[in-house]
Amino acid sequence: MSYILSVGTSVPAYNIKQDEVKRLVEKIFPISHREFHRLAPVFDHTYIKQRFFSASPEWLSEPHGFKARNDLYKDVSLRLSLLAIDRCLQHTQYVTRPIKPEEIDMIMFVSSTGVTTPTLDASIINQRTFREDTKRMPLFGLGCAGGASGVARAHEWLKGQPEANVLVICVELCSLTFQNDDARVSNFIGTALFGDGVAAVLVCGDESNLLNCATGPVPKLSVTSSKTKKDSLSVMGWDVLDTGFKVIFNKSIPQLVHHFWKEHVDEFLKSIDVSADDLTFIVAHPGGRKVLEAYQEVLGVNTFPFKASYHVLKQYGNMSSATVLFVLDGCMQAFPPSGSRSFMMALGPGFSSELIGLEWV
């Protein structure tokens, strides 16, 4: 078994309201006035109030190539990663003492919105007192599923290293992928949904000496389950251009929740002997309002178990892989009593689904 001991998050400097983003899109997108007003209600129906961007509206209004976007990604990602890590390791609500970077045995670095070689976890090791023998496992291209996938892979690795500790870092600067010369509806929807954010989560094996630092009950990870739908590569992902990443975002995602994901989650809940009706909260990645509503319909529950997901969606938008860890942080800060059961879930490119059983102990 393994346990989630702490979570830390960070966001970039530019806090932009949804109406401001809509006005920016109207100004810079290469579509007619009539077409804009036909699509504009997308912004109003997302449930999103504000998002955080890594660049100013002025920068986003200008054309940029892949290098300019990626250089900014490297700079902002490193700064925000270090901030999220420090908050995670020193979070007084979760741990009774600061956790030292040298107590971490592996860094799992998850991202899909920029590329570096060496990956940014190497730069992170240089910026803090991590040991030279700290293992590194970068994961790229998992998109919105990356946060849950990273936690699941950390849990599986810790089964063979029960005394060890893993730091999972999810970094997504989605705003740097906005293409202001792309008139497609999927790009329009992407600009209405996605924002930037970073999260770090500390996952400890069941023989870790850090477990006695917990301030209260913590989520224990049990069963993990991954599923990838065949012949669904066109559902979501990137098309790589000279100007950067062009979003692939298919409107069929809510339908896939009703069919592909329903089969997966039904099997999973049966395997952990839990009924959706018994769950007071669910650690769900809020891919968007329609996706959350599809989750509710599949599980036959109201909005209450998804309270933390709706809150994160409203305040931050969809931050790809990091989003589900923001939701996890919200659930943990409510300090569920020992014995509380839930599960973490996220969907991503592939088309893939990741599920993890959680129990507070």
Tens digit of pLDDT for each residue in 299-339?
999 999 999 999 999 999 999 999 999 999 999 999 999 99
Q: Contact, 188 vs 332, CB < 8 A? A: no
* C-alpha distance across the termini of the chain, in Å: 12
- Written as six digits, the tokens of 102 are 């040298």
Q: Is the pLDDT of residue 124 over 80?
A: yes
Q: Contact, 176 vs 54, CB < 8 A? A: yes
Q: Give the integer Cα–Cα distance in Å for 238 and 246.
A: 5
Q: Contact, 130 vs 101, CB < 8 A? A: yes
Q: Is the pLDDT of residue 182 over 80?
A: no
Of 211 and 181, the one with more pLDDT = 211
**Structural Rg of the chain based on CA atoms:** 20
* Digit-coded pLDDT (tens) for 206-265: 999 999 999 999 999 999 999 998 887 777 878 888 888 878 777 778 788 888 999 999
The pLDDT of residue 75: 97
Amino acid at site 199: A
- Report the DSSP beta bridge partners of residue 352: 228, 348
Structural domains of the chain ordered from first start: 2-213 (3.40.47.10), 219-360 (3.40.47.10)
* Digit-coded pLDDT (tens) for 185-205: 777 888 899 999 999 999 999
Q: Give the integer Cα–Cα distance in Å for 335 and 150.
A: 23
Split at pLDDT 50, 70, 90, the class of 27 is: confident
The pLDDT of residue 262: 92
* Digit-coded pLDDT (tens) for 344-361: 999 999 889 999 999 999
Map tokens 């490297």 to a residue: 74
- CA 41 → CA 18, 22, 316, distances in Å? 12, 10, 19
Listed range (32-41, 46-55, 192-201) with the worst mean pLDDT: 32-41
pTM for the predicted model, two decimal places: 0.95
Q: Which one of the listed residues 88, 144, 213, 331 is annotated catalytic?
A: 144
Is 144 catalytic? The answer is yes
Amino acid at site 239: D
Map tokens 């979501």 to a residue: 236
The pLDDT of residue 179: 84
Reported in sequence order, the residue ranges of 175-216 that DSSP labels E, i.e. its strands, are 196-205
Q: Contact, 142 vs 110, CB < 8 A? A: yes
In sequence order, the 6+-apart residues with CB closer than 8 A to the CB of 94 are 5, 6, 7, 214, 215, 218, 332
Average pLDDT over residues 281-297: 93
